[in-house]
Amino acid sequence: MDNTLQRMKELTEKLDKAAKAYYQEDREIMSNLEYDRLYDELAALEQETGTVLANSPTIRVGYESLEQLPKEAHESPMLSLDKTKDREVLREFIGSHKTLLSWKLDGLTIVLTYEKGELAKAVTRGNGVIGEVITNNARVFKNIPLRIPYKGRLVLRGEAIITYSDFERINESIEDVDAKYKNPRNLCSGSVRQLNNEITAKRNVRFYAFSLVSTQPMPDAGGTVQIVSPADSAQTVDFHNSREEQFVWLKKQGFDVVEYRVVTGETLDDAMEYFSTAVAANDFPSDGLVALYDDIAYGESLGTTAKFPRNAFAFKWADEMRETHLLEIEWSPSRTGLINPVAIFEPVELEGTTVSRASVHNVSILKELKLGIGDTIKVYKANMIIPQIAENLTKSGNLTIPDKCPVCGQEARIRCENEVESLYCMNPGCAAKKIKAFTLFTSRDAMNIDGLSEATLEKFIGKGFIHDFGDIFEIAKHRDEIVTMEGFGEKSFENLMTSLEKAKDTTLARVIYSLGIANIGLSNAKVICRYFDDDLEKIRQANEEEVSSIEGIGPVIAKSLVDYFRIEENNRKLDHLMSHLRLHREESSGEQVFAGLTFVITGSVEHFANRSEVKSYIEARGGKVTGSVTKKTNYLINNDTTSSSAKNKKARELEIPILSEEDFLKLEYEKGGLKNAD
């Protein structure tokens, strides 16, 4: 029993880490196949022992969403579905009941609320209890109706997806091979949760309804339900106790509803034949099917388990497997020093394409699989997209993990973090690590150079094209070699040249920020440059006392700035950079009504494109924006002024006003009026 419980704890911990990476961080550290295998093993052990651990994934749903968007509790919990890969298990569930068999779409589940015929709210699934409010983004989904005929209150659920064709279109527009998205689900998740819905709109996100949660008449101002005329569709809707009737009604309201077939256990095979044939040609991602009882009352009478509703069941496709032989392990360095193992194997056909490589993720997985050159391995595509190693049949374990970095040739060492072993380059001067500084330099708030992604910078640094920031503006000398590189060509090279020419026109504040001086963000850089009247030589010669005397600039920032310019090599590199630039003064946006005020911005915004635009707006009017709430903060901007987020709690503790965007704009008007009165 002790060994069994220990195994259950191990399985729970592994599944917990994998679920956290998948739901909260949009990355995969374990294949779907491996996750399902371990999950089934844990469920079997729980049934055998009668014990369920408190943090078991068999009773927990998902993970709490990130704090990048306002959060809100769902009116009713969103549970996962029990699942099987066995058709007979599915047939047993269906039995003689009329059942709707539909696609299990692979995207992001969204809950929509309509009131008085208007889209009022959209919330992600989140952890099933609390989700993220993404209303502003849902309004630009490709096929969501913003107004519907029904004038009552409607709550429905569906899946937001990005089609394969749009996924490929977006990836084709990204010239850097290494910067392309891995699969439609991750692209969709990031698109739905953007802070700027202009980006969401360009991604062509689509919504397919799969469940009607509730309909009810809207109460009047006094809170009572109004008596409506028969012609008014705000009256209660009779769905005749049928889920299919709900689907038909949703279609009439203007929603795209997930495709389905009506089946019983006897007619299941014909429907399964249709779906299994159609899945290969579908333009949308699907990882299986969902069976839902049509009889609403019967389904609801069955209730739920701690995790699953009993009126629905999921069927997952069996993954197409191929045997092949491992040829080598390629060790791929990253900007963080992490060196990732990639399996190279004899090419095989999977899901209609030829594959020959798969990420092994880390040294722990490499060791667990006991990989060795020449081993016979089974490979598959997770969700028909991502190549993975499912199993090693021969397990020779003859691999030697390198002790030298493939980029710089210096020491590489295995480090264990959170019980996961990974290989790292230990050389702080490794070219692969330089990417961090250059990535900041080319970023939007710094020099804003399009066409130089992290992956492209890594390639240029690895080839010796770039040693300091000024070299970026001399990249044309390597034209002949660049146009022959993978992911490049004449057009992409010319686009890069255009971007570099545009980036030469900039401000001193952007230059100072782009240097990556410790503790100096763009806001601080603007304050410093404004104080020294955009005179670079005055900034170089300034002492700590003078800099720290600037309003909003303390001794820590002052020391960082002065220390940076004390190093002759830094000045030499800056001179090289400045020889390519054309500086102009920061544009002023009127009176400095926020001078001396410090703001923190959190949550989503609606009157501005994104939080960066709010930040620029404040700074142009003399204010300062920081990332955390402290006693020096004057105002916290958050449209969800009543939320219990960490920043809201901190602001309340310090008695700092929490402003919505409307409050903020009103504050600007009031302060502008006060200044004029003065």
Question: What is the band of 205 on the pLDDT scale with cuts at 50, 70, 90?
Answer: very high
Higher pLDDT, 134 or 604: 134
Q: Which residues are catalytic?
A: 104
Q: What is the mean pLDDT of residues 655-666?
A: 88
Q: How far is CA 163 from CA 269, 337, 592, in A?
A: 27, 35, 47
Parallel, antiparallel or unpaired: strands 624-626 and 598-601: parallel
Answer with the residue of higher pLDDT: 224 or 566. 566
Q: Which of 161, 181, 72 is nearest to 109 (CA)?
A: 161
Of residues 480 and 332, which shows the higher confidence score? 480
Query: What pLDDT does 201 receive?
Result: 84
In the chain, the N- to C-terminal Cα span, in Å, equals: 80
Over residues 120-166, the pLDDT tens digits come to 999 998 878 888 899 989 999 988 888 899 999 999 999 999 998 88
More confident residue, 22 or 74: 74
Full-model pTM: 0.51
Pairing of strands 505-506, 420-425: unpaired
Whether 659 has a pLDDT exceeding 50, the answer reads: yes
The answer, yes or no, to whether residue 588 has pLDDT greater than 70, is no
Rounded CA separation 572/460 (Å):
22
Check whether 544 has a pLDDT greater than 60.
yes
- Residue 505 near residue 584 (C-beta atoms within 8 A): yes
| Residue 672 predicted with pLDDT over 70 | no
How many C-beta atoms surround the C-beta of residue 660 within 10 A? 17
pLDDT tens-place string over residues 244-260: 999 999 999 989 999 99
Alpha-carbon gap, residue 19 to 25, rounded angstroms: 9
Q: What pLDDT sits at residue 329?
A: 93
Over pLDDT 70: what percentage of the chain?
88
Which helix (H) or strand (E) segment is 367 a member of?
helix 363-369
Element containing residue 170 per DSSP (H, E): helix 164-172
- What is the pLDDT averaged over residues 311-335? 86
How wide is the angle at C-alpha 415 spanned by C-alphas 411 and 417, nearest 5°?
A: 155
Reported confidence tier of residue 232, pLDDT bands at 50, 70, 90: very low
What is the amino acid identity at position 105? L
Q: How far apart are CA 297 and CA 242, in angstroms?
A: 9
Closest to 450 in 3D by CA, of 500, 383, 386: 500
∠ Cα 621 625 629 (to 5°): 140
Helix, strand, coil shares of the chain, percent, nearest 5, are 35, 20, 40
The Cα–Cα gap between 523 and 536 comes to 17
Residue 431 has pLDDT above 80, yes or no: no
More confident residue, 506 or 197: 506
Between 32 and 191, the more confident residue is: 191
User: How much is the pLDDT for 191?
Assistant: 84
pLDDT at 385: 62
Radius of gyration of the chain (CA): 29
